[in-house]
Amino acid sequence: MLQDSFSVPIVIGAAVLVLALVGVLTLHLRVRRDLARARAQLVQARRAQEHLTGESSARDQRLVRAERQAKESAELLREARAQQDLVRAETEYLVSTRIPALLSHLRAPHVIVPGVQNPALAGTNVERLHRAILDTLTRGVREEGERIDEAAQAVVRGAISRVQTQALRAQDLLADVQKRYSGDEHTTLLREVLGLDMFNELIIRRVQATGIACGATPGLSRDDTYLVDLMVGAISRVENFEQRIEGPANHLRRRIGVAARAAESILFTTAELLANAVHHSHGTLKVTIAVHETNNGAAIVIDDAGVGLNEEQYARATRLLSGTHPVRLVDLGNPPRTGWAAIGRQVAHYGMQVTIKKSAFGGVQAVLSIPAALLVEMPEDSRPSVLAPEPVRAGVPTAATVIRSEPAAAFRPEPVASSVRPEPAQARRPEPATGPQQRQAQAEDLAPLPQRRRQPTRAASGSRPTGEPGGSGGSDGSGGKLLTTPEEAQKRWGDFQVGAEAGRREALPPQQHDITEGN
């Protein structure tokens, strides 16, 4: 019984202990489960934290990247705005400065067109685009200017041709008046007519120069003409030529003439060079002119002691006289000075050459070189006019050259008929060689010129030589009146021309300065 009393508490204690152990075990298991759950939550929290940390880091990186991109975009925007400001300023400079300078340059080549305003734009697309704009504008302005200038030149040519025609008709009328009233009783009238004829001649020369500069032809035609005769004709076209021009000096040794196709052009060119020399010389200074034979043809040399030319004027004169550059009316000044431009057109057309340089007298020396293709050897039965100068003899100074006032017998052909000593036509022979013919023989070693022969002139009715059938011993068949020999007719006409020149000089009043003269 006593054992039973001790076993019950032991059992109860064991039961309690078992229960306690079970509770502890259960609690332990629960704690471990809670701990495992806590650990799992902690791991999950850590993973979430790590994920959040990763996302935050990526977000931060994105923010940094976005900030950097924003800064770069802002920098690019500032650069674009600065570039835009540069282009706007450069475009304004193009419109306000460069284009007006280009238009001025097209009118006056000495004006310089500036480049880009900002050196930073040099070599960029902006400069290339602006240069393309200027080039396009240049082409457009030049093409339009050429079109307008061609139209203006066509108008000038049409007007000048009508004026020249009327002036030439007036010249013919004045020549008829001079022939009708050539007697001593009409001296006063003849003097006035000669003055008008000189004025008309000056008008024709200025009209001719303007027309040629605009592309017209000289408007006059000539036969093959002695070169010295062309020089005399050119001198007579210059105002106050008797007081201002010395010469001409004839250094030719052969019977050199100019072909018909170029005779008027050479006369015109020489007259314009003389007029320019006279215009730029003081009223008391002389202008000298001489003609020489060269290896390639002939040369006319004109010297003056005037004011001369500067480098820019020499360059302009050389450009215009060469005839190789197109010339517009607007380039000839206001009023237009057409002399050099007209000479350049003739030089280029006929293959001549005009060179200018400083003369020994401080003025300008102009040399007109005439190629051999434009020269001919005149027939032996022809002679220069009575006003043509005699060839300068060797050792005789140029200043001693004189104008013939009376033709020499050795320089005149035999008469067709003579009342003193008639000769048959078949018995006529050229006269023996005299001084000038001997000089001609000395020049035979030079290059030969093209030879042109005149056709024999037809004998007038009733004026046949006595040696021919039907002749009447030198009379004209109607009244037995003696025929005038060629020497007498030439002497009379020469005296008339000398008197006409003297009357023209006396009739010309002092002239005011002509601003259209000169080149």
pLDDT tens profile 23-58: 777 877 888 888 888 888 888 888 888 888 888 888
Give the pLDDT confidence score for residue 423 in this predicted structure.
36
For residues 8-21, give the mean pLDDT: 75
468 DSSP assignment: S
Asked whether residue 262 carries a pLDDT value surpassing 80, the answer given is yes
Distance, in Å, from the CA atom of 258 to the CA atom of 375, rounded to the nearest integer, reads 5
Give the pLDDT confidence score for residue 336 in this predicted structure.
81
Give the pLDDT confidence score for residue 118 in this predicted structure.
84
Helix (H) or strand (E) holding 355: strand 353-358
Helix (H, G, I), strand (E, B) or coil at 480: coil
For residues 376-403, give the mean pLDDT: 70
pLDDT one-digit tens code per residue, 282-339: 878 889 999 999 999 999 999 998 888 888 888 888 889 988 888 888 778 778 888 8
Asked whether residue 421 carries a pLDDT value surpassing 60, the answer given is no
Residue 416 CB: number of other CB atoms within 10 A?
17
Give residue 79's Cα distance to chain centre: 50
CB 341 within 8 A of CB 355: no
Query: Is the preceding omega at residue 430 within 30 degrees of 0, hence cis?
Result: no
Give the pLDDT confidence score for residue 312 in this predicted structure.
86
Give the pLDDT confidence score for residue 518 in this predicted structure.
62
Provide the phi-psi class of 295: left if phi over 0, else alpha when psi is between -120 and 50, else beta.
alpha
Tokens of 483: 């025929």
Asked whether residue 416 carries a pLDDT value surpassing 80, the answer given is no
pLDDT one-digit tens code per residue, 202-255: 898 889 898 998 888 888 888 899 999 999 999 988 888 888 888 788 998 888
CB 207 within 8 A of CB 167: yes
Asked whether residue 370 carries a pLDDT value surpassing 90, the answer given is yes
CB 376 within 8 A of CB 257: yes
Asked whether residue 411 carries a pLDDT value surpassing 80, the answer given is no
Asked whether residue 156 carries a pLDDT value surpassing 70, the answer given is yes
Residue 301 CB: number of other CB atoms within 10 A?
20
Distance, in Å, from the CA atom of 425 to the CA atom of 429, rounded to the nearest integer, reads 9
CA distances in angstroms from 88 to 80, 99, 101, 288, 452, listed in the order given: 12, 15, 19, 63, 74
Asked whether residue 343 carries a pLDDT value surpassing 90, the answer given is yes
Point out the least confidently predicted range of 54-68, 200-214, 472-486.
Answer: 472-486
The structure's pTM equals 0.60
Torsion of CA 240, 242, 246, 247, to 10 degrees: 120
Q: Could you tell me what percent of the chain has a pLDDT over 70? A: 75
The residues that bridge with 51 in the sheet, in sequence order, are: none
Tokens of 398: 């140029």
Distance, in Å, from the CA atom of 512 to the CA atom of 257, rounded to the nearest integer, reads 37
